[in-house]
Amino acid sequence: IKTIGILTSGGDAPGMNAAIRAVVRTAINKGLKVKGIQKGYNGLINEEIIDMDKRSVADIIQRGGTILYTARCMEFMTPEGQKKGAEVCKKHGIDGIVVIGGDGSFRGAQKLAEAGVNTIGLPGTIDLDIACTDYTIGFDTAINTAMEAIDKIRDTSTSHERCSIIEVMGRNAGYIALWCGIANGAEDILLPERYDNDEQALINHIIEARKRGKKHHLIINAEGIGHSTGMARRIEAATGIETRATILGYMQRGGSPTCKDRVYASVMGAYAVDLLCEGKSNRLVAYKDGKFVDFDIDEALAMTKDIDEYEFNISALLSK
């Protein structure tokens, strides 16, 4: 391996810059050249490629977003797009590539590996929805950002003795909702993995909690369930309790990464370069059972994971 490329793909996540910095500096320290591929696989296909040196990643460890920009690329899902991407790598002398993103991005990485470009994936998504790893870059910052916002909503919700539904991101996964639900002491947490659409049970719970003297009722609703505004309207009509919905949205994806996201992303970035230097390809860096490890991308994509039953059960008990 002489020259590596690095790209960020899919939704951005705080800590991606820390990972880019670690990849660039580790690679240069090992005598490799580094090319930054902008705007994900789109930029690869369109050859939006820049040379990177140690200074090009200065002053970014504390910044949210990704200095390489990111995109979701439909063309790279096609065999033609993948072929083009591999050809561009050859043309620019890129013999190894680090892809920071989610499952969709790793499917692209797999194809590049098949075409002979050594690829290593880093899990970068606020959703924590990558099965082989207990940690993804950006999750810690996102839950802290959401938690702080929900604390603020809780203040006003209590003052007005309201019910508040707060919708958090996570695509089809409920990890952000579960963590915020526990951290914010929510009365109800609606997760796509668990919610059975029994709105009447939810309404009964709100009425019963009010009878027990609760001044507010916080419901954390995962994006995978959605429909928070309509749900608020129906709850208010059924309970007579003023109910408001807040959709936190993209603020959860921005902001300066937490210490954990900076440190873990830095370690993962360095680890990815080490794997490339060992001649490895089609691997995904993960954090599993307290250790940084790596998995074959094919095996990683076939894995599944679920919400922790114990955590989910205690979340309901603790807010009683």
Which residues are the active-site residues? 127
> In sequence order, which residues have a C-beta less than 8 Å from that of residue 110 and are 6 or more positions away?
119, 282, 297, 298, 301
* CB of 124 or CB of 269, closer to ligand F6P: 124
Q: What residue has token string 């002053």?
A: 59
Q: Buried (b) or exposed (e) across 123-141, using 16+ Cβ within 10 A?
A: bbbbbbbbbbbebbbbbbb
* CB of 88 or CB of 126, closer to ligand F6P: 126
Site string for ligand F6P, 34-73 (x = CB under 6 A): --------------------------------------x-
Per CB under 6 A, contacts with ligand F6P among 203-232 are: 223
**Cα 58 to Cα 25, 170, 272, distances in angstroms:** 10, 31, 20
Q: How far is the CB of 137 from ligand F6P (least distance, A)?
A: 12
Q: How far is the CB of 169 from ligand F6P (least distance, A)?
A: 3
Asked if 11 is part of the footprint of ligand F6P (rule: CB under 6 A), the reply reads yes
Selected range binding ligand F6P among 122-130, 209-217, 265-273, 279-287, rule: CB under 6 A? 122-130
DSSP reduced 3-state for 237? helix
Tokens of 157: 């919700």
The answer to whether 251 is a known ligand-binding residue is yes
Q: How far is the CB of 170 from ligand F6P (least distance, A)?
A: 5
Structural element, H or E, at residue 19: helix 16-29
The answer to whether 93 is a known ligand-binding residue is no
Query: What are the φ/ψ torsions at residue 193 (nearest 5 degrees)?
Result: -75, -15
The answer to whether 180 is a known ligand-binding residue is no
The answer to whether 293 is a known ligand-binding residue is no
* CB of 126 or CB of 166, closer to ligand F6P: 126
Q: How far is the CB of 140 from ligand F6P (least distance, A)?
A: 14
Asked if 123 is part of the footprint of ligand F6P (rule: CB under 6 A), the reply reads no
With CB under 6 A as the contact rule, the residue among 23, 88, 112, 126 that binds ligand F6P is 126
Question: Helices 309-318 and 175-183, interaxial angle, to 10°?
Answer: 30
Task: Give the 3-state DSSP-derived string for 106-133, with helices as H, strands as E and coil as C.
Answer: HHHHHHHHHCCCEEEEEEECCCCCCCCC
User: Is the Cβ–Cβ distance between 26 and 6 less than 8 Å?
Assistant: no
Site string for ligand F6P, 160-189 (x = CB under 6 A): ---------xxx------------------
User: Is the Cβ–Cβ distance between 270 and 285 less than 8 Å?
Assistant: no
**Number of residues forming the site for ligand F6P (CB under 6 A):** 10
User: Is the Cβ–Cβ distance between 2 and 28 less than 8 Å?
Assistant: no
Q: How far is the CB of 271 from ligand F6P (least distance, A)?
A: 22
DSSP reduced 3-state for 135? coil
Per CB under 6 A, contacts with ligand F6P among 255-314 are: none
Question: Residues comprising the binding site for ADP?
Answer: 21-25, 154, 185-187, 211, 214-216
For ligand F6P, the binding residues (CB under 6 A) are 11, 72, 125-127, 169-171, 223, 253
For the annotated binding site for substrate, the residues are 125-127, 162, 169-171, 223, 244, 250-253
